[in-house]
Amino acid sequence: MLSDMLPVVVVHGGAGFVPRQRSELSVSGVCSAAGSAYGILKGGGSSMDAVVNAVTLLENNPAFNAGIGSVLNVRGDIEMDALVMDGKTLASGAVSAVRNIANPTQLARLVMEKTSHACLTAEGASQFARAMGIPEVPVESLITDYSRMRWQKNLAADANPVECQMGKMGTVGAVAVDTEGNIACATSTGGMLNKMVGRVGDTPCIGSGGYADNNIGAVSTTGHGETIMKVTLARLILFNMEKGQSVEAASDSGLALMKSRVDGLGGVITVDPQGHWAARFSSLQMAWAAAQSDTLHYGLYTGEHFTQNIDDPESHYPKYKA
C-alpha cells in the first residue's frame, strides 16, 4: 500500500556558503521550485516531470550555479553538466560540458528517453540538442556579472578557486516520489570555478551526482565533485539505506565518510519510497526546500527548519532573515 506521506519533493540550491546578500534569493528560489514541482505531483504528474520542472526553474534563476549563472571555466567559458534518473527502470540520462543550452537537465532527459546512451558530451550533445529542436542560446546570455567577477578574481596568481568555491556553490538538484510511488532525481551544475576546459565533475556521473531506485530511494548531491566521485556519494547513501539506516542517518553517515576519508564537504537531499526525506550537509550552508502534505519546509543554515502552509500566498517567497 502506498504511504499517505506521498507525494513529496525535495530541492537543493548547492552546498557551501551563501553570501548574506544572496541568502534570501537562494531560499526563495528553492522554495518556489519545490512549490511548483509539488503542484505537478499533486495534479498526478510523475516524479520525473516534477524533478525536471524544479531543476529547470533553478537553472533559469541566475542566483544558482546552473544554466544562467553557471560558473566560468579558466577560459571564461561555460561548460555545464546535468543528470536525471528514473527509479522505476533505473534508466538515466546525462550531458556533460554543454555550452549553448539554457536547460541542460531537459537535454539529459532527452538523452535518457530518445537515445540508447546514458551520457552525451560537448559537441555531440549540442548536435543531439539541435536534432531534438532545442534552441541554441549564446553562451554570453548564460554569463552573469557575478560569475564574470568571480572568474576574474580567480585568475590572480595567488587565487585558490577550489577554496573560494567551497565558499560559494550553487549547484541545483531535486528528488521526488509521486503518488504512484515512482522515484526520480535530477542534478544540474556549471561545475567548479575556473575549472580546466573539459573538466567533468560528479554531477553527470550516475551514483555520484545522483541516483534513483524505486526499491530504495533517491539522492541528489552537491559539493566538491572530485571528492564526491571518490566515494560515489549518492549510491553510498542508498547503500546505507539498504542496510537499514533512515534517510537522515544514511545521508549523515555518507557525508561523514566523505569528510573523514577524502576530506570533502558537501550536501545531499534524500527520499525513500515511503516519503521520508532529508536535507543534510557538512558545508556551512545549503539552501533547501521540501514540499509534502501541503506543507513547505525550508532552511539554509545547519539545524534550521522553517515550515509554512503551501497555500499561504507568501509561501513561495518566504522572508528569510539572514
Active-site annotation, residues: 171
- The 8-class DSSP code of residue 52 comes to H
Query: Which is nearer to ligand ASP, 223 or 273 (by Cβ)?
Result: 223
Nearest partner of 257 among 279, 290, 276, 280, judged by Cα: 280
**What distance in Å separates the CA atoms of residue 305 and residue 264, rounded to the nearest whole number?**
24
Tell the burial category of 74 from Cβ atoms under 10 Å away from its Cβ (0-12, 13-18, 19+): middle
Considering only 33, 84, 192, 278, the residue that binds ligand ASP (CB under 6 A) is 192
Please list the alpha-helical segments (H only) found in the chain. 20-42, 47-59, 104-114, 122-131, 145-153, 161-167, 225-231, 233-242, 247-262
**What distance in Å separates the CA atoms of residue 188 and residue 85, rounded to the nearest whole number?**
12
**What distance in Å separates the CA atoms of residue 230 and residue 281, rounded to the nearest whole number?**
17
Count residues near ligand ASP (CB under 6 A).
15
Task: Compose the 12-31 pattern: x for residues touching ligand ASP by CB under 6 A, - for all others.
Answer: --x-----------------
Tell me the DSSP string of 186-227: EEEE--STTPPTT---STTSBTTTEEEETTTEEEEEEE-HHH
Q: How far apart are the first and last CA of the chain?
A: 42
Considering only 171, 232, 285, 315, the residue that binds ligand ASP (CB under 6 A) is 171
Residue 111, annotated as binding a ligand: no
Q: Which stretch binds ligand ASP (CB under 6 A): 26-34, 142-150, 216-224, 236-244?
A: 216-224
CB 248 within 8 A of CB 281: no
Task: Compose the 220-259 pattern: x for residues touching ligand ASP by CB under 6 A, - for all others.
Answer: --xxxx--x-------------------------------
**Using the rule CB under 6 A, is 161 a contact of ligand ASP?**
no
Residue 222, annotated as binding a ligand: yes
**Using the rule CB under 6 A, is 299 a contact of ligand ASP?**
no
Task: Compose the 90-129 pattern: x for residues touching ligand ASP by CB under 6 A, - for all others.
Answer: ----------------------------------------
Q: In the complex, what is the shortest distance from the CB of residue 236 to ligand ASP, in angstroms, rounded to a whole number?
A: 15
Residue 261, annotated as binding a ligand: no
CB 309 within 8 A of CB 315: yes
Q: Which stretch binds ligand ASP (CB under 6 A): 200-208, 231-239, 271-279, 293-301?
A: 200-208
Residue 16, annotated as binding a ligand: no
**100: Cβ contacts below 8 Å, ≥ 6 apart:** 126, 129, 136, 137, 138, 139
**Using the rule CB under 6 A, is 62 a contact of ligand ASP?**
no
Considering only 28, 203, 220, 285, the residue that binds ligand ASP (CB under 6 A) is 203
Grid cell in block for residue 28? 526563495
**What distance in Å separates the CA atoms of residue 18 and residue 37, rounded to the nearest whole number?**
23
**Using the rule CB under 6 A, is 78 a contact of ligand ASP?**
no
- Paired with 217 in beta bridges are 213
Residue 271, annotated as binding a ligand: no
Q: In the complex, what is the shortest distance from the CB of residue 155 to ligand ASP, in angstroms, rounded to a whole number?
A: 19
For residue 208, the one-letter residue type is S
Q: Which stretch binds ligand ASP (CB under 6 A): 5-13, 102-110, 196-204, 295-303?
A: 196-204
3-state secondary structure of 69: coil
Residue 223, annotated as binding a ligand: yes
Residue 200, annotated as binding a ligand: yes
**Using the rule CB under 6 A, is 282 a contact of ligand ASP?**
no
Q: Which residue is nearest to ligand ASP (CB)?
A: 225
Chain residues in the site for ligand ASP (CB under 6 A):
14, 65, 169, 171, 189, 191-192, 201-203, 222-225, 228
Which residues are annotated binding-site positions? 199-202, 222-225
Which residues are annotated binding-site positions for substrate? 199-202, 222-225
